[in-house]
A = this chain, B = another copy of it.
Amino acid sequence: MRVALDLLGGDHAPDAVIDGALLAVDRDPTVEVILVGPPDVAAELLAARGATLAVVPASESVAMDEQPVRGVRTKRDATVRTIHRLVREGAADAAVSVGPTGAVLAGAVLTLGRLTSRPAVAVVVPTAGGPVVLLDAGATSEGTPEQLVAFAVLGSAYAEVLGVRQPRVGLLNVGAEPGKGDQLRKAAFALLEQAPVRFVGNVEGHDVPHGGPADVVVTDGFTGNVLLKAVEAASARSDLPRSALLLGVAGVSVVGHGAARADDVAACVLHAAELARQGLLPRLREVLSTREEAS
Residues of A within 8 A of B (CB): 64-65, 67, 138, 141-142, 172-175, 177-179, 181-183, 185, 204-210, 219, 221-223, 225-237
Please give the distance in Å from A165's CB to the nearest CB on chain B: 26
Which B-chain residue is minimally distant from A172 (CB atoms)? B226
Give Cα A221 to B237, complex, Å.
Answer: 27
Question: Which of A138, A141, A233, A237 is packed against the most chain B CB atoms within 10 Å?
Answer: A233
Q: Which of B67, B210, B219, B230 contacts A209 (CB 8 A)?
A: B230
15 A-B pairs besides A141-B181, A174-B222, A234-B234 with CB distance below 8 A are A64-B175, A138-B174, A141-B174, A141-B182, A142-B182, A173-B226, A174-B221, A185-B222, A205-B226, A205-B227, A205-B232, A206-B229, A206-B230, A208-B233, A209-B233
- A-B pairs with the 5 shortest C-beta distances? A205-B229, A206-B233, A205-B230, A209-B234, A205-B226
What CA separation (Å) do A221 and B235 show in the bound complex?
23
State A236–B231 Cα separation when bound (angstroms).
11
A207, B181: Cα distance in complex, Å: 24
> Of B65, B141, B208, B223, which is within 8 A of A222 by CB?
B223
Q: Which residue of chain B has its CB nearest to the CB of A64? A: B177
> Distance in Å from the Cβ of A222 to the closest Cβ of chain B?
5
| A141-B174, A174-B138 known; A65 vs B205 contact (CB < 8 Å) | no
| 29 sampled A-B residue pairs with Cβ under 8 A | A65-B177, A65-B179, A67-B179, A138-B174, A142-B183, A172-B226, A174-B226, A181-B222, A182-B222, A185-B222, A204-B229, A205-B225, A205-B226, A205-B227, A205-B228, A205-B229, A205-B230, A205-B231, A205-B233, A208-B230, A209-B230, A209-B234, A210-B233, A226-B226, A227-B227, A230-B230, A230-B231, A231-B231, A231-B234
